[in-house]
Amino acid sequence: MCTVTATPAVADVGGGGAKPTIVLVHGAFADGSSWNGVIERLERRGYRVMAPANPLRGLYSDSAYIASVLKSVKGPIVLAGHSYGGAVISTAAAGNPQVKSLVYVSALMPDVGESGMSLSARFPSALGTATTSVPYRTDGTSGTDLYLKPGKVHPVFAACLSAGQASLLAVTQRPAATTTFSEKAKVAAWKSIPSWALVGRQDMTINPDQERFEAKRAHSHTVEINTCHVSLIARPDAVANLILQAATATATTTAAADPDRPALATTATSRPDTKAITLGGIAVASLGGIAAASLVAGAAVVLLGRRLSRHTH
């Protein structure tokens, strides 16, 4: 049910506290192996690491599953999410006092009432033309999966990797149900848990301006690096270093004047505030990224509905 990578018993952190377990949640079109380079580096530093399989069936069910994984962990947790995995950890961590830090790697960070689709409408990306929709059917349920078009994986998803690596990602990709992007967040754990964020300047899957906006809004400790969307594969050192910052943060980082909100660090970037684009009046053709992909998938459901019973998933 989940991929677990662990080390033997770890040493204590300075000050007498136990090292946290680091839980890594992958995003859409990927699996836990996308964290391999990061896992190796964290384990060398003596951390226990888990990379559970994100089901990619819908924000509510995926976050409930990851929340159940977190309950099996003893002691403090640093929870990291890549891409759509960011939305999942924002919900899964809510109400869990063991989660001490959140790390967002080129990720979605929706606020309450937002979805991946609504955020993409405000900050369009190339993802809107990079996916194809395929109806699926299981025992008693049906829906629509989004896949990356093979020819779009390299330029949109993994431009900082070699063509051969991108081709392998295309072949092994795991589809994400449209509900992963359309379901609206009911909670936002980054409002009460200190967070760290990595922005990929060459990200074509999630608009870098969206990543900056989200991080600034959450008062995340933020770093920007030159990388594409799959920064965890292309730049595992940088990603691991950011996670280590979250893991080694002192207790004073989470001290708060307001008991309902920790004193979180401000963003480290010097870019101006990102202004939201008004949604009202936006034509369907002008929507980008996840929003466009989800709308196209919805149309596909209607057109292909009659053939659903003959589809083999």
The per-residue pLDDT for range 9-44, each reduced to its tens digit, is: 333 333 346 899 999 999 999 999 999 999 999 999
pLDDT in tens, 60-97: 999 999 999 999 999 999 999 999 999 999 999 999 99
Cα gap 213→83, rounded to integer Å = 15
Give yes or no for residue 256 having a pLDDT over 80. Answer: no
Sign of the torsion angle spanned by Cα atoms 204, 117, 119, 173: negative
- Identify the top-confidence range among 135-139, 230-234, 259-263: 230-234
Q: How far apart are CA 211 and CA 234, in angstroms?
A: 18
First to last CA, the chain: 20
Per residue in 216-230, is it b (16+ CB within 10 Å) or e — as a string? bbbbbbbbbbebbbb
Q: Quote the pLDDT of residue 140.
A: 82
Res. 259: pLDDT tops 50: no
The tokens 């979805």 sit on which residue?
A: 115
Lowest mean pLDDT of 127-131, 164-168, 240-244, 266-270, name the range: 266-270
d(CA 56, CA 90): 15
Residues with Cβ within 8 Å of 67's Cβ and at least 6 positions away in sequence, in order, are 91, 92, 93, 96
Q: Output 8 or 127, whichever has higher pLDDT.
A: 127
Percent share of the chain, pLDDT over 70 = 74
Higher pLDDT, 112 or 294: 112
Report pLDDT for 139: 85
Question: pLDDT digits over 223-240, tens only?
Answer: 999 999 999 999 999 999
d(CA 207, CA 229): 9
